[in-house]
């Protein structure tokens, strides 16, 4: 009974909070999301302002053949937005272990890793300067996606023998494979499975789960000339922290909320850590596996998008304004449109635009 009462009070607080949002802002959000959703089988958008979900919109179908509509609980392949969540887990580890964790060599954490990786640090994995390669193209993506893995270490066999693309600590090369390694390192640091470690370090109202052949998620589609075609065997589990999670937009926006809700550490401390990670003379960059920056007008902002055949997701956070936006869909679409929608919604709910 106590849990039921708490749930009712929580729902009431969300409804009460939502009523404080001006009608003009709600109308703006409705219009923009309706327009965006025309290009997808199903879409879910969630917006947090302060402590609660201020607005959520679901449109279309999670399964076209069964005519099953999207709900707020529908989980989608979020692909590379998993990197954002992995970064939050590492941010929590920095809170408990200090920033020196970022300078730790990954071969000290796991001596069985290749000798060619001797100079790679945790920081290199999280800011994409490890030199570990990314996909070589669609064929490589398909080959990796067709694997079925029991652990990140299992997935690493696919690329572990490839030479480094650049000198460690040099040029940034965006790499999903590097984040698979970061997932393995997270397991070694915590003594838990990757999925368990993330859920222990980053709080979610309902646990995040990795993709799988039997998971409950929106049917993934590709766009064709006549409509949408189901991708029958899609399974992103082997991507782990590089792209393996499925999530609802409510879960994804809760991840963004953790940058300002104090659940990991106070925003002032997060700003100090992020600022110290930016290249000399810069106020932005890839930190903790997410794009971020600190500006005079916005304060701390962070974002990450994910897409591959079968899904598109995006999360954007304006931490000082305590606003986060999350978008999930079940078909790949242009990233710039997802960014435009997320940015427009975030600024409107923050009262900036």
Residues 45 and 33: beta-carbon distance below 8 Å: yes
Average pLDDT of the residues of the chain: 93
Confidence grade of residue 143 (pLDDT, cut at 50, 70, 90): confident
Cβ proximity of 277 and 290 under 8 Å: no
Question: For residue 3, is pLDDT > 80?
Answer: no
Contact 330, 41 (CB under 8 A): yes
Does residue 157 form part of some domain? yes
Q: What is the mean pLDDT of residues 50-72?
A: 96
Q: Give Cβ neighbours of residue 251 (< 8 Å, ≥ 6 apart).
A: 75, 204, 205, 206, 208
List, in order, residues 6 or more apart from 89 with CB less than 8 Å away: 186, 197, 198, 201, 202
Mean pLDDT within 71-83: 97
pTM, whole model, 2 decimals?
Answer: 0.92
Instruction: Please give the average per-residue pLDDT across 222-245, as a whole number.
Output: 92
> Tell me, what's the pLDDT at 201?
97
What is the average pLDDT across 193-213? 96
Average pLDDT over residues 46-73: 96
Q: What percent of the chain has pLDDT over 70?
A: 95
pLDDT for the residue 166 = 96
Residue 9 lies in a domain: no
> Within 10 A of 94 (CB to CB), how many other CB atoms are there?
19
What are the Cα distances from residue 27, in Å, to 30, 206, 349, 350? 5, 30, 11, 15
Burial annotation 296-332 (CB, 10 A radius, 16+ → b, else e): eebebbbbbbbbbbbbbbbbbbbbbbbbbbbbbbbbb
CATH number of the domain bearing residue 318? 3.40.710.10
Residue 18 located in a structural domain: no
Q: Reply yes or no on whether the pLDDT at 62 is more than 70.
A: yes
Domain that holds residue 61: 26-350
In a domain, 44, yes or no: yes
The pLDDT value given to residue 146: 83
Our count of domains for the chain comes to 1
Give dist(CA 67, CA 70) in Å, integer.
Answer: 10
Residue in 207, 228, 205 with CA at minimum distance from that of residue 216: 207
């Amino acid at each position: 009974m106590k849990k039921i009462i708490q749930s009712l009070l929580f729902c009431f607080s969300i409804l009460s909070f939502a009523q404080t949002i001006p009608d003009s802002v709600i109308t703006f959000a409705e219009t923009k999301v309706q327009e965006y959703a025309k290009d997808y089988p199903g879409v879910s958008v969630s917006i947090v302002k302060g402590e609660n979900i201020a607005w959520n919109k679901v449109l279309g179908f999670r399964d076209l053949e069964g005519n099953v509509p999207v709900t707020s609980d529908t989980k989608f392949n979020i692909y590379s937005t998993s990197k954002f969540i992995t970064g939050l887990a590492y941010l929590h580890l920095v809170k408990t272990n200090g920033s020196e964790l970022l300078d730790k060599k990954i071969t000290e954490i796991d001596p069985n890793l290749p000798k060619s990786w001797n100079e790679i640090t945790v920081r290199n994995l999280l800011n994409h300067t490890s030199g570990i390669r990314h996909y070589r193209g669609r064929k490589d993506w398909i080959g990796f996606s067709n694997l079925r893995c029991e652990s990140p270490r299992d997935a690493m066999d696919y690329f572990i023998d490839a030479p480094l693309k650049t000198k460690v600590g040099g040029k940034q090369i965006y790499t999903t494979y590097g984040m698979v390694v970061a997932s393995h390192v997270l397991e070694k640091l915590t003594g838990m499975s990757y999925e368990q470690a993330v859920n222990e370090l980053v709080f979610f109202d309902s646990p995040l789960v990795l993709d799988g052949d039997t998971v409950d998620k929106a049917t993934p589609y590709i766009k064709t000339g006549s409509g949408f075609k189901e991708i029958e065997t899609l399974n992103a589990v082997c991507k782990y922290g590089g792209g393996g999670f499925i999530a609802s937009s409510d879960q994804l926006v809760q991840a963004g909320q953790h940058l300002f809700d104090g659940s990991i550490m106070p925003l002032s401390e997060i700003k100090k850590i992020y600022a110290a990670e930016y290249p000399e003379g810069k106020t932005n960059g890839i930190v903790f596996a997410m794009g971020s920056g600190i500006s005079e007008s916005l304060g701390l902002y962070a974002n990450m998008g994910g897409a591959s055949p079968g899904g598109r997701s995006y999360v954007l956070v304006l931490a000082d304004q305590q606003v986060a936006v999350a978008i999930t869909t079940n078909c790949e679409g242009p990233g710039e449109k997802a960014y435009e929608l997320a940015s427009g919604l975030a600024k409107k709910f923050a009262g900036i635009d």
